[in-house]
Amino acid sequence: MNTNNTLEFNFILEKLASLALSQNVKEKLLLLQPVLSERECKDRIQETSEGLKILESLGNPPIPSMTELDKILDLSTKGSVLIPEQLTTVCSFIASCKRMINYLKKAEILNVSIASYGKAFYTHEMLFEEINRSIRNDMVEDNASSVLCNTRRKIENAKASIKLKLESILRSKKEYLADGYVVTRNGKFVLPVKKEYKNQVNGTVIDTSNTGSTCFIEPSAIRKFQDELTCLEIDEDNEVRKILYTLTALVESYVSELKINMECMEKLDYIFAKAKLSMEMKAIPVPITTERKFIIKQGRHPLLNSKLCVPLDFEIGGEISGVVITGPNTGGKTVTLKTVGLLSLMAQSGLHVPVAQGSVFCMFSNVLCDIGDGQSIEENLSTFSAHITNIIDILKNVSNESHVLLDEVGSGTDPAEGMGIAVSILAELKQRDCIFLATTHYPEIKDFAKNTQGLINARMEFDRESLQPLYKLQIGEAGESCALYIAQRLGFPSHMLVRAEKEAYNKVSVVKEHSSIIIKEEKKENTVSTNKIKPDIIKTTKPLHGESFNVGDSVRVFPQKDIGIIYKTIDEKGNLIVQIKGEKQSINHKRIKLITPASQLYPEDYDFSIIFDTVENRKARHDMGRKYDPSLEVKCEDEI
């Protein structure tokens, strides 16, 4: 289970890394993770805030890319000779450090602690002067040493002498030449002689043209000058090497200080990358607390278009540990989950988050989530299997400091069984005392949340006129899927709606309005009798446990969705006795939903013994009422 990818935190890290300039910092930012220390988290947020304050006042800082700089410094300590391009990189870094010192000097007036990094930099004036004097345009300068300067002057004089001699020959042998100018081949000055006249010019053939029609000849008259030039060029190369060795040794002597400068620059690059992300997202720092208090005001998913994104208001904590969100498909439930989880990861990683003032974020030991269907052909996982695999993993790692996010909990299987599994999962999370947020379509889970202390319902708002989701979360009320309502508004056939309503809610016929769909109550067939049931059987349940039930009420029992009749009302443990298919069972009131009250099914004086008693017991009671017979007995069922 990869929480970072599921909540798209990896995309935030990629965006953050793109704002850094040095490769080391880019790699470090891609590995950014939430911290578990409140003090460290607050320090990270504070440095992001200070970086943002400096950015807004002074603009972008002079941070260099430092490409290959660490490798260059390592080479200098291993006996290698740095080439001019590498020395130029070192010199440019020193210049950037000077600019950063000045930049942070200006930032001191903003009263930010990170301005003190300016005092941690070394200036390396002498090293900068030596490299800058000796290297220019990635080449060793003539005045890097007096020997090099004299050697290069001699080289130029030798080249000039050779050209003069060749031009003299050029004029005298003009008819033998392919071109009227001096050329160079293989580092030597030569004359381009036509192939047929090559024996007319005394010298050595150095090269030929591609077509073979021209021979490039070094005349014997300039060989002495050419040899002298070769010796001078060797002297030049030796002097250049000597200068590069000297500069490399100088760099090596400053390696430890240069690396300290690198560390400081990378730390600032790290801080300013976070600040740039904050500026780009119009984010703010949020208070962090270890208390169970998590408040988001006007929160926005940072990867969505801020102009189109509907701000999220969300709150959990205190006595409330779980929120169950319901509402129509595409109503924003999953986006809400991802927004809550993503903002939490960002804040605990020391980043600013796109919310409004008044938000408060809680520290979590981990964020665990099951979002998406997770199907996998390679692993042979169905949607349901993937969900359950994730849930099992979550339960192994959850604690009272965890933040759990579950999307469509219990989905992907038979609705009745899925509902039962969903309730068991939420009950277990409630028992573990973690903070959790779950989305669902099951109405039974809404009832479970409503009747369970510490849980609360929430819904995504829906515009019934435009049939468009509003993407607004309203805590405290359960929502509905609106499927039948949407189908009706879109012109779904009315007779099919009636059938759909009957299958969904076991209701048909006259006069009840549900989601603007006209449906009818199903009439129940019942036997009527003038005999009354025993007074000790007839009771009304205590409303203390939620919905009231009376003896004779027709109810549905979940998760099997069996139809039963209330035999005995609720006891002090919240259980009732329900007769299902002739068998009496003890069932908790949370699993029972009223279909039709007894008052609508039976007359006031109805004898319920017709339903609940055996024929033998009813006959015995009748005979006892007429005469005394010691052989008569009524068999009472054992207590359930």
CB burial of residue 269 (10 Å; 0-12, 13-18, 19+): buried
Look at strands 435-439 and 402-406 and give their pairing: parallel
Q: Would the CA dihedral through 143, 144, 150, 152 be positive or negative?
A: negative
362/325 same-domain check: yes
Tokens 């500069």 found at: 247
Distances (CA, A) of 190 to 176, 179, 221, 226, 228: 14, 11, 11, 10, 16
DSSP 522: P
Q: What is the CATH number of the domain that holds 338?
A: 3.40.50.300
Domain final position from 481, 512, 529:
481
476/364 same-domain check: yes
Which of 177-181, 580-584, 623-627 is modeled with the greatest confidence? 580-584
Look at strands 575-580 and 322-326 and give their pairing: unpaired
Which residues lie below 8 Å from residue 232, measured CB to CB, with a gap of 6+? 151, 154, 155, 158
Q: How confident is the model at residue 467 (pLDDT cuts 50, 70, 90)?
A: low
367/419 same-domain check: yes
205/158 same-domain check: yes
470/343 same-domain check: yes
505-547 pLDDT tens trace: 665 433 334 433 433 333 333 333 333 333 333 334 344 444 6
Note whether residue 552 is domain-resident.
Answer: yes
Which residues lie below 8 Å from residue 296, measured CB to CB, with a gap of 6+? 312, 313, 314, 315, 339, 340, 343, 355, 359
Note whether 171 and 163 are within 8 A (CB). Answer: no
23-69 pLDDT tens trace: 999 999 999 999 999 999 999 999 999 999 999 999 999 999 998 99
Q: What angle do CA 472, 473, 477 make, to 5 degrees?
A: 130
Mean pLDDT to the nearest integer, 178-189: 79
111/8 same-domain check: yes
Percent of the chain having pLDDT more than 90? Answer: 46
Q: Rounded distance, CA 416 to CA 560, Å?
A: 6
271/297 same-domain check: no
Note whether residue 507 is domain-resident.
Answer: no
Note whether 419 and 442 are within 8 A (CB). Answer: yes
Give the pLDDT score at 534: 38
Give the pLDDT score at 464: 63
36/89 same-domain check: yes
Q: What is the CATH number of the domain that holds 65?
A: 1.10.1420
Which residues lie below 8 Å from residue 32, measured CB to CB, with a gap of 6+? 13, 16, 349, 350
Count the Cβ atoms, other than its own, within 10 Å of residue 628: 7
Note whether residue 411 is domain-resident.
Answer: yes
Beta bridge partners of 207: 216
Note whether residue 387 is domain-resident.
Answer: yes
Give the pLDDT score at 503: 73
Could you tell me the residue range of the domain that residue 548 belongs to?
543-626
Domain final position from 281, 316, 346:
281
In the structure encoding, which two tokens stand for residue 256, read together? 């430890």
Q: How confident is the model at residue 330 (pLDDT cuts 50, 70, 90)?
A: low
| Domain total of the chain | 4
Mean pLDDT to the nearest integer, 366-384: 66
State yes or no: pLDDT of 311 exceeds 60. Answer: yes
Q: Rounded distance, CA 444 to CA 560, Å?
A: 12
Look at residues 375, 398, 399 and name the one whose alpha carbon lies nearest to residue 388.
Answer: 375
State yes or no: pLDDT of 401 exceeds 70. Answer: yes
Residue, of 45 and 226, whose pLDDT is higher = 45
State yes or no: pLDDT of 375 exceeds 70. Answer: no
Mean pLDDT to the nearest integer, 221-236: 88
Note whether residue 516 is domain-resident.
Answer: no
Note whether residue 131 is domain-resident.
Answer: no
Give the pLDDT score at 265: 97
317-328 pLDDT tens trace: 888 999 998 866
183/55 same-domain check: no
405-417 pLDDT tens trace: 999 888 877 777 8
21/108 same-domain check: yes
Give the pLDDT score at 402: 94
579-591 pLDDT tens trace: 888 788 888 888 8
Note whether residue 494 is domain-resident.
Answer: no
Give the pLDDT score at 380: 42
Note whether 477 and 457 are within 8 A (CB). Answer: yes
69/207 same-domain check: no
Note whether residue 21 is domain-resident.
Answer: yes
3-class SS letters over 248-281: HHHHHHCHHHHHHHHHHHHHHHHHHHHHHHHHHH
Q: What is the CATH number of the domain that holds 562?
A: 2.30.30.30
Mean pLDDT of the chain: 83
Count the Cβ atoms, other than its own, within 10 Å of residue 469: 19
67/161 same-domain check: no
State yes or no: pLDDT of 89 exceeds 50. Answer: yes
